[in-house]
Amino acid sequence: MTSSLPNNHGLGRVGIWTFALDLQPMSKAQEAARELEELGYGCIWVPEAVGREPFASCALLLAGTQRIGVATGIASMYARSAVTMQAGWRTLTEAFGERFTLGIGASHEHMATKLHKTSYDKPYTAMVEYLDQMDKGLYAAVAPTTTPRRVLAALGPRMLALSAERGLGAHPYFVPPEHTKMARDTMGDGPALAPEQAVLLETDPTKAREIARNFMATYIRLPNYANNLRRLGYTDDDLGDKQRPPSDRMVDAIVAWGTMDQVVARVKQHFDAGASHVSLQVLDADPAALPMRQWREFAAATKHL
């Protein structure tokens, strides 16, 4: 790494975002995490939805490795109280230091109301209040010796600005490089900017876009993501609806597919736009597969970034 590259805040340049580890027995997930570590990835991002509890998952993955970072991408503020969130955050930081990064977000209305049986109103205001409660929370256990690390799941300008003010920075999801440019302009030069990028090694346009559309089907209907893409200039025709799939333009903006060189060029676009770290979400024709082969290939292909 040269001094001209932006500070990656200990995340490394390239990481892996994956739900695939949740679909393996934990012993196999730890084995895969150890190989990701040996391959040189800087961080493993694990989600929270209907899979493993993310703090427990992160603890086990961190305990099974030695150097690689692990982050929640993201832990929902509606899944636990602010006091419980900060206790988990400080517990993992005390045990693993700067290898743990808490990614926290407001998630989505249907997750808050239907899954967690709570209200979803004014997520920005709710996030400010939640962060205040976290930072004032009582914690009587052994304190961390390093400063706990926190990023926010941020898409719009206000949440991006908040992420720069109240933590390391932002972890945007389901975004094209033009969002990364907007986010960097909004946040300024210092904070971490760690977007997720879906990637697919498939050169046949029909096959690639079919796999991509299957991946995008749930996300493209969620208002937070759809509204963010509209802010970037994508139209309702691009987004599609229940009767019409998203346009080729929309698919190609969200999922980087093609040869390895073509996909890595997209990752580089994020770095050129101001990203300090990019997490790769590898897509496969079998969404339940553990994409170990692709992870190995991307590790070799992205070492120069």
The domains of the chain are located at 14-196+259-301
Fold entry, domain 14-196+259-301? TIM Barrel (3.20.20)
Per-residue pLDDT of the chain (305 residues; tens, 9 = 90+): 333 445 789 999 999 999 999 999 999 999 999 999 999 999 999 999 999 999 999 999 999 999 999 999 999 999 999 999 999 999 999 999 999 999 999 976 666 566 666 777 889 999 999 999 999 999 999 999 999 999 999 999 999 999 999 999 999 999 999 999 999 999 999 999 999 999 999 999 999 999 999 999 999 999 999 999 999 999 999 999 989 999 999 999 999 999 999 999 999 999 999 999 999 999 999 988 999 999 999 999 999 99
Return the ∠ at Cα 66 (arms to 71 and 13), rounded to 5°: 50
Query: In this structure, how many other beta carbons lie within 10 angstroms of the beta carbon of residue 241?
Result: 11
pTM assigned to the model: 0.95
Please, where are the H alpha helices in the chain? 26-39, 54-63, 82-96, 109-110, 123-136, 157-165, 177-187, 205-219, 223-231, 236-239, 248-254, 260-273, 292-301
